[in-house]
Amino acid sequence: MAKNIAEKSVESADAPKQVTIKHLKTMKNASGADVTVVDWQDTKTVDEAISQAEASLVTCEAKVIELKADIVAYKAIKG
């Protein structure tokens, strides 16, 4: 799913910076043409967004290692 990430304006200079994340999806309109629409929107601090993205990256990297091991096992069975 595509995302649109932008800085959100804050009222106070002392407040932590925030980001708005629009989660997008592609749909068909009445004419059958593809259109991109906002599925849902999330607002969080930049630090929270970075932490969540880094945690997600670690999870994905572990999944890649697991999948590479699966491929080796499948190829061994294939011969």
Helix-strand-coil split of the chain, %, nearest 5 = 40, 40, 20
For the stretch 27-75, pLDDT in tens is 999 999 999 999 999 999 999 999 999 999 999 999 999 999 999 999 9
- Phi first, then psi, for residue 16 (nearest 5°) are -65, 145
Query: Is residue 2 within 8 Å of 24, Cβ to Cβ?
Result: yes
Scanning the chain, the segments in alpha helix (DSSP H) are 46-78
Alpha carbon 55 to its chain's center: 12
pTM for the predicted model, two decimal places? 0.76
Q: Compute the distance between CA of residue 55 and CA of residue 1 in angstroms, rounded to an integer.
A: 18
